Structure 1
């Protein structure tokens, strides 16, 4: 691969943040990744029946959607838009959120250094993992994406003189994909939740790299294509009912934006969407008995635990990408079309974002609820929070919320794929045939996700809680 500034910037992220791994003297983990503090529920029916029922729901939804062949009805769901005449309010909101973003970044850096150094008692840790990783992401796909207004690094970069170097087109979103892989791995192997100081160092390193990228390249281009957090929130925000437009804000049906052809306009963007699905599957897998056995077996062969977790992360991502790419190829054959596999992969790719949103809700809703009181206390008393913060206990039925999140994401994804197929292909049977491979892939994803939810959490091996 030819070396270019986007990739070099990603390498700098890896090198800077990996110092936290070396300083830890062993593998520690982000609580946000390696376990959701007992947020799972118990499954009281046979596992095979439970998994078959989940896959059957997606299959039934696919069959029902295929009965909707009226193009006016399909197009109406995705094209119906209500403009929200609140442009002045939007400008005020952007200014307020901008102040919140800058204050939040300063809060993490200051409290991470000067505040208590006790894991989830720290306001810095709670703001990053509960406030941003969980709650802000849920707001992005349930309401609307607030990140363009909040993003503190973009505001800093925009205030600095730019060098104006052209962003290499062939880089696409690949720097964001590589950087997100690095961040996910660091959440597992670096002490980002147990050591607020390490978290502050990681945030400082990330700040330097991403602001530098926004100065070297055009700021708008860098934060749209290469910055992993900006791409993260933009992808999740495309699922939301409130969308930003050139004229202000618009209200659309949930997921309607996913039918547009500019959500993921290139293959590297689809790879980022696949990674969003895989990273949540990965975080669930490594804390289950099969995942723990896989890690222990690899470490037993003499591999460092850090390397094992990296290989699992990258290998699983490659497997998910391969499955999606194969589905795109089968779609091309089933539809008997001259459209390329690459184009079909890009057009059907936004459906993955609905799946990712459902997975995120399943993984992080309970996590956020449990730690919400501690999060609020840490904001009010950042330098002297309660030594034993309050945590909510989840009721036994909460496991069904996880199941509902997974299934709702896949149901929406099926509908998005149905809409895209009728936009691409003139014949009704041709459009329906094109959906089969992606529906099969979604059923497979559903079964895997439900299986992980049904398994007990054992904790990731070689990762202290």
Structure 2
């Protein structure tokens, strides 16, 4: 096997290295206007080289028996009974404060706490917290807290009410996938003045909360929170990577990645993860001259000529681009699963079944994309919360004495951000490879078959990681 890998690796490495050395630098991108300096060509080349080396060497030397087959958890801390409802109450208060600021505060997005809270702290910060500390969002989830409180009150007042409808297996994660896609459309395709308007965000927040409460009332709080709540599921998937898990009144420790390895796939999980990776990829792609010059401007012109306003044309083009990028990610993954099926002698699993089974192994890649694309944004724009919390409505208040605080752009260098981005991508790829290898050992009859099946998954993960590196180095 080692000889085969060496024969396959050397030409691939040489070809890729030659292509990477010629790659031109450009700017990385980000949410709400964040921009970084170009990633150096040599760093991009060596990062991609390291990805391939880790992949091929790892495939040859990783464990021959499953490491995550038996989840070993150890209770670390016993929590007081009042803590869970207290966290839920804090979540409700934070959500209510954000909604109030959206309606009562200034319309200037840079001076209102709402846009930065949602696009930076919520969307980018919580995934990182989920990796470090487990599913913290679940404890503070405001609509989950309201649903649980309402169920408790109804139980005391009306006794045992009607049982919730059984959550359909075929529905799976599809509601969550639709919700994340909808947020991606808001973030990437809606005109900037609308997607950053505090009152618009407040209205959308209330609508989203109402949908969650209806889902909980229909299917039960736990069932809907585990499958249908887009943000709860999104953050929860990242939390499976964490060495910490909150369960009932206990905090338990477990091996890193063990939660992801034991995740039971359900319908819609492939679609959800492809949306997660595809939306971040498209965000990077929209900052490139290739997107602007080849796709966006010509297509917008055609829609305007057809009678659409420029804003509507922009929304249609960007929504179509988001769908197309998600389709590309899905096609790459399904192609890898089809190749995996062809590599398994006598296998009875379909490509769809393999795709569903191995979907959790892409969760580290999805988180790596988030960190790589948005770490600079969080590092800089996240500091704005100091003065935004001091003056959340933008009306001249100074509750915390920080209204005059200004973002410190010198606390971390551009070079350090580059290293974080590239290391995140390499680490995410290595974690995905380890999870895929472990799941293959559980799925197939022999080590040889499991290893052979992973040549294709290796190609998929290298493609995803190389795509992310290309986006970082070629965005304008």
How far did 1:69 drift?
5.4
The TM-score, its normalising length taken from structure 1, stands at 0.83
SS in 1 for 2:296: helix
**1:253–1:167: structure 2 CA closer, same or farther, 3 Å change rule?**
closer
Alignment of 1:14-29 (within 5 A): none
Q: 1:396 aligns with which of 411, 414, 424?
A: 414
Whether the 8 Å CA contact 2:170–2:267 is kept in 1: the answer is: no
1:68 and 1:257 map into 2 onto residues whose CA distance is 23
1:456 and 1:354 map into 2 onto residues whose CA distance is 23
Alignment of 1:61-460 (within 5 A): 61-68=54-61, 70-72=63-65, 74-75=66-67, 79=70, 81-89=72-80, 91-160=81-150, 164-188=164-188, 189-190=190-191, 191=193, 194-245=196-247, 248-260=250-262, 263-293=263-293, 294-302=295-303, 304-336=313-345, 337-383=347-393, 384=396, 390-393=406-409, 394-397=412-415, 398-457=417-476
Whether the 8 Å CA contact 1:141–1:240 is kept in 2: the answer is: yes
1:192 and 1:135 map into 2 onto residues whose CA distance is 23
CA-to-aligned-CA distance 1:209-266 (integer Å, 9 cap, x gap): 2212211222211121112111111111111111234683322232222221xx2422
SS in 2 for 1:350: helix
1:94 and 1:129 map into 2 onto residues whose CA distance is 26
The TM-score, its normalising length taken from structure 2, stands at 0.81
1:211 and 1:291 map into 2 onto residues whose CA distance is 39
**Greater C-alpha radius of gyration:** 2
Which stretch shifts more, 283-292 or 93-102?
A: 93-102
SS in 2 for 1:301: helix
2:454 and 2:392 map into 1 onto residues whose CA distance is 51
1:152 and 1:274 map into 2 onto residues whose CA distance is 27
How far did 1:341 drift?
2.3
1:390 and 1:213 map into 2 onto residues whose CA distance is 42
Aligned twin of 1:18? none
1:326 and 1:333 map into 2 onto residues whose CA distance is 11
How far did 1:387 drift?
7.6
**1:41–1:96: structure 2 CA closer, same or farther, 3 Å change rule?**
farther
**Residue 39 of structure 2 corresponds to residue 43 of structure 1:** yes
How far did 1:274 drift?
1.6
How far did 1:365 drift?
1.9
SS in 2 for 1:171: coil
Task: Provide runs of 4+ in structure 1 moved above 4 Å.
Answer: 77-80, 385-389
**1:408–1:70: structure 2 CA closer, same or farther, 3 Å change rule?**
closer
2:468 and 2:407 map into 1 onto residues whose CA distance is 26
How far did 1:154 drift?
1.3
Q: Which runs of 5+ in 2 are unaligned?
A: 1-28, 155-160, 305-312
Whether the 8 Å CA contact 1:354–1:413 is kept in 2: the answer is: yes
SS in 2 for 1:120: coil
CA-to-aligned-CA distance 1:288-342 (integer Å, 9 cap, x gap): 2112222112112226111111111112212211221121111111122223323
How far did 1:79 drift?
4.2
Alignment root-mean-square deviation, CA? 2.4
SS in 1 for 2:170: helix
1:448 and 1:67 map into 2 onto residues whose CA distance is 24
Count of residues paired in the alignment: 417
How far did 1:179 drift?
2.1
Q: Which runs of 5+ in 1 are unaligned?
A: 1-30, 458-465
How far did 1:68 drift?
3.4
